Structure 1
Amino acid sequence: MTITSDTSAPLVVVGGSTGQQGGSVIRSLQESDKVYRIRGLTRDVSKPAAKALTEQGVEMLSVNLVIENKAQVVEAYKGANIVFAMTNFWEHLDKAKELAEGKMFIDAALEAKVPLFIFSSLDSFEEYSGGKYKNVHHFEGKAQIANYGRSKASPSFTFVAVQAGFYYSNFTRNQIIRQESDGTWAAALPCKPDVLLPGIDVDEYGLWVRAAIEHEELRNGHEILACSQEMSIGEMVDEIARPYSPEETSLKITFKTVNNDEFRAAMPEGAPEHVKDDLMEFFNGLSAVGYYNREDVVRFLPYLSRKTTTFADWVKKKDMPEYGKI
């Protein structure tokens, strides 16, 4: 469906419109048989990705979504029926800054009288572990923002958290699987291979946001879990290593459980200590409490507009034998 400029259509304001999650939200709404106006927010409307969205009918606004620019954010949200917002801890590595920005987005939406606010959230490892894992900052900031949003909910302001599952793409760019000194490849992590990950192709994240928009009954719990398929991390590593044709041979990729000191020592030089704490406790916490800390992680799949990508199909599409070529 072509995006419209007809003012009778609901207006959806999308933060991070040229990024992975925001871009996915826009594409998912484009696929809908319903008609939407879309206003995309980005720092630089002159970059190619922003221009491409303009050509597709998206109203692009240049807004730097930082705490100092609340007035601009309020203006960008005015007239919206729906706002999708996200924060990015990895951009600045500062949980306090992420929390302040997320709260500002919610306050701006309230000031602009936005009736439906959808936030890309995550759970709290600290809460689920009874305070043991306090340093998973990239989860905790989003969890606290979601708590703030829920505290502001009212008959005129509906807050919904759409929690992003574990990106399949975390297995690319040497983020999890790294080359060993003997030339083989390994996922050397401080967790067991049987820990479960609720995986998604980030390009499909917007399907869950669209479900929140188009299925009012999903908003009652104020929380939607984005998960295409739950697999153990060991199974995922095995899938990457598996050959897909008779001509291919298995890649030498293994999963290794390492202790926390070994994991920290293998992290890139110059990584801040609080980031090392974050990732170490994240993987420790997967074994102790789990990514979502619940069993029914795929319950929202029936509400999606189409079937999502399995991890095996994503691996084939991404030509994961890249590990044997580097």
Structure 2
Amino acid sequence: MTITSDTSAPLVVVGGSTGQQGGSVIRSLQESNKAYRIRGLTRDVSKPAAKALAEQGVEMLSVNLVIENKAQVVEAYKAADIVFAMTNFWEHVDKAKETAEGKMFIDAALEAKVPLFIFSSLGSFDEYSGGKYKNVHHFESKAQIADYGRLKASPSFTFVAVQAGFYYTNLTRNQIIRQGNDGTWTAALPCKPDALVPGIDIDEYGLWVRAAIEHEELRDGREILTCSQEMSIGDMVKEIAKQTGLKIAFKTVNNDEFRAAMPEGTPEHIKDDLVECWNALSEIGYYNREDVTRFLPYLSRKTTTFADWVKKKDMPEYGKRA
């Protein structure tokens, strides 16, 4: 359905509207048979992605979503029926800063009297492991924000956390599978190849957010877990190899080997983060839950399997073209 300007339709404010998650939320709402007004937040409304959204009927607002701009965020949230918010640890790699930003979004929503607030969250490996894995900073910050949101929930303020699954795109851009100087391809990780990950196509993340908006029964205080297909990391690597025709080895390495292979200049706390993330994923599981696909029946359409995603994805780093 075309985005509407009819004031009888609920107003959804989408943070990071020109990015992957925010853009996915907008596209998912566009697919709905229900009418929505959408206000997109971005730093620069003059960039092509923002102009394209404006042409589709999205009200685009320029706002820098940082602590110092809380007053602007409150104004951006005013009159909203629903707010979708996200934070980006990798923008500044600062756990404390990300946590403060997320809490500010919640406080701004409360001040603007927003009835429904949806946050893109992750779980706490610190909690799951009983304190063994304390340094997965990009998970922990989002988990702390979600805890704060649940603490602030009330009959007039519903807080929903939608955890982001393991992006299929993590298998691209040489993030996990890399070519060595000798030409061989290897996925060298400090985890077992049978470690299960809840995979999603980032372009479909918004389907779970839309489900939270359109199915009131999902707003029961429990986190919504996004997962199209639970699959082992080893099988994901094998699927890439199968469809590209490359020989790709999966190698379980120790933590020191993994740290040493990181790019020069990687901060030590980021090395700690990534090492512990893979260790915890292998030992505990990404979500530390068994019901990872229970939300699929609430989605408006079938999601993409990893094999189908690889089939359609242009991956020039592997010599593969669409």
TM-score w.r.t. the length of structure 1 is 0.97
Please name the residue that 1:294 is paired with: 289
Give me the whole-angstrom Cα distance separating, in 2, the residues matched to 1:320 and 1:98. 31
1:219 aligns with 2:212: no
Please name the residue that 1:257 is paired with: 252
Give me the whole-angstrom Cα distance separating, in 1, the residues matched to 2:218 and 2:47. 35
Q: Is the 8 A contact 2:314 2:320 kept in 1?
A: no
Report the number of matched residues.
321
2:310 is aligned, of 284, 309, 315, to 315
Q: Per the alignment, in what secondary structure is the counterpart of residue 242 of structure 1?
A: helix
1:48 aligns with 2:48: yes
Q: 1:217 to 1:132 in 2, by over 3 A?
A: same
Please name the residue that 1:4 is paired with: 4
Q: Per the alignment, in what secondary structure is the counterpart of residue 12 of structure 2?
A: strand
CA deviations on 1:8-51 (whole Å, 9 max, x unpaired) are: 10000000000000000000000000000000000000000000
2:270 is aligned, of 236, 258, 275, to 275
- 1:322 Cα deviation (Å)? 3.6
Q: Which amino acid aligns with 1:141?
A: S
Q: Is the 8 A contact 2:150 2:221 kept in 1?
A: no
Q: Which amino acid aligns with 2:15?
A: G
Q: 1:220 to 1:325 in 2, by over 3 A?
A: closer
Q: Per the alignment, in what secondary structure is the counterpart of residue 22 of structure 2?
A: helix
Q: Is the 8 A contact 1:162 1:224 kept in 2?
A: yes
Give me the whole-angstrom Cα distance separating, in 2, the residues matched to 1:82 and 1:51. 23
Please name the residue that 1:173 is paired with: 173
- 1:181 Cα deviation (Å)? 3.0
Give me the whole-angstrom Cα distance separating, in 1, the residues matched to 2:190 and 2:28. 36
Give me the whole-angstrom Cα distance separating, in 2, the residues matched to 1:39 and 1:211. 19
**Worse-matched range after superposition: 174-183 or 290-299:** 174-183
Q: Which amino acid aligns with 2:257?
A: E
Q: Is the 8 A contact 2:177 2:185 kept in 1?
A: yes
Q: Which amino acid aligns with 2:238?
A: D
Give me the whole-angstrom Cα distance separating, in 2, the residues matched to 1:319 and 1:53. 24
Q: Is the 8 A contact 1:4 1:35 kept in 2?
A: yes
CA deviations on 1:60-100 (whole Å, 9 max, x unpaired) are: 00000000000000000000000000000000000000000
Q: Is the 8 A contact 1:12 1:37 kept in 2?
A: yes
Q: Is the 8 A contact 1:251 1:321 kept in 2?
A: no
Q: CA RMSD in A?
A: 1.2
Q: Which amino acid aligns with 2:306?
A: F
Q: Per the alignment, in what secondary structure is the counterpart of residue 155 of structure 1?
A: coil
**Worse-matched range after superposition: 141-150 or 283-292:** 283-292
Give me the whole-angstrom Cα distance separating, in 2, the residues matched to 1:206 and 1:282. 24
Please name the residue that 2:110 is paired with: 110
Please name the residue that 1:15 is paired with: 15
CA deviations on 1:154-176 (whole Å, 9 max, x unpaired) are: 00000000000000001111011
CA deviations on 1:117-163 (whole Å, 9 max, x unpaired) are: 00000000000001010000000000000000000000000000000
Gaps of 5+ in 2: none
Give me the whole-angstrom Cα distance separating, in 2, the residues matched to 1:298 and 1:9. 31
CA deviations on 1:90-116 (whole Å, 9 max, x unpaired) are: 000000000000000000000000000
- 1:180 Cα deviation (Å)? 1.9
Identity %: 88
Give me the whole-angstrom Cα distance separating, in 1, the residues matched to 2:249 and 2:291. 29
1:153 aligns with 2:153: yes
Give me the whole-angstrom Cα distance separating, in 1, the residues matched to 2:180 and 2:129. 33
Give me the whole-angstrom Cα distance separating, in 2, the residues matched to 1:197 and 1:149. 26
Q: Which amino acid aligns with 1:158?
A: T
Give me the whole-angstrom Cα distance separating, in 2, the residues matched to 1:96 and 1:62. 25
1:122-271 pair list within 5 angstroms: 122-243=122-243, 250-271=245-266
Gaps of 5+ in 1: none
Q: Which amino acid aligns with 1:267?
A: M
- 1:324 Cα deviation (Å)? 4.5
**Worse-matched range after superposition: 217-226 or 4-13:** 217-226
Q: Per the alignment, in what secondary structure is the counterpart of residue 277 of structure 1?
A: helix
Give me the whole-angstrom Cα distance separating, in 1, the residues matched to 2:258 and 2:84. 36
- 1:287 Cα deviation (Å)? 1.4
Q: 1:118 to 1:325 in 2, by over 3 A?
A: closer
Give me the whole-angstrom Cα distance separating, in 2, the residues matched to 1:325 and 1:84. 35
Give me the whole-angstrom Cα distance separating, in 2, the residues matched to 1:87 and 1:321. 29
- 1:222 Cα deviation (Å)? 3.7
Q: Which amino acid aligns with 2:65?
A: L
Give me the whole-angstrom Cα distance separating, in 1, the residues matched to 2:197 and 2:257. 22
- 1:321 Cα deviation (Å)? 7.0
